[in-house]
Amino acid sequence: MSSADSQFRHRHSGAAPDLSAIEVRCLALAAEGRTPGQIVLETDLPLPRVAEALSSAMEKLEARNITGAVSRAALLNLI
């Protein structure tokens, strides 16, 4: 096991982060390939709220981008 794998397992071996319902919904839609603009249309949330939810989810999941957040959320069975 590489050092990076070991560090990832150590950081992510605890409980899953507590994502809000909006964060989960936005991540699930992003996982289906929706853009933030499309998420706005599907959820009736304003664009700044969608952007905030995705950004907050990325931070909670310790991801650098939406793809990483979606991947980690899926691995943790959050979406």
Over the stretch 13-27, which tens digit does the pLDDT of each residue have? 567 899 999 999 999
Domain boundaries, the chain: 22-75
pTM for the whole thing?
0.80
| pLDDT of res. 10 | 47
Over the stretch 60-69, which tens digit does the pLDDT of each residue have? 999 999 999 9
Alpha helices (H) along the chain: 3-11, 21-31, 36-43, 47-60, 66-75
Over the stretch 31-54, which tens digit does the pLDDT of each residue have? 999 999 999 999 999 999 999 999
Tell me the C-alpha distance between 51 and 30, whole Å: 11
- Which numeric CATH code is attached to 22-75? 1.10.10.10
Nearest to 59, CA basis, from 7, 20, 6: 20
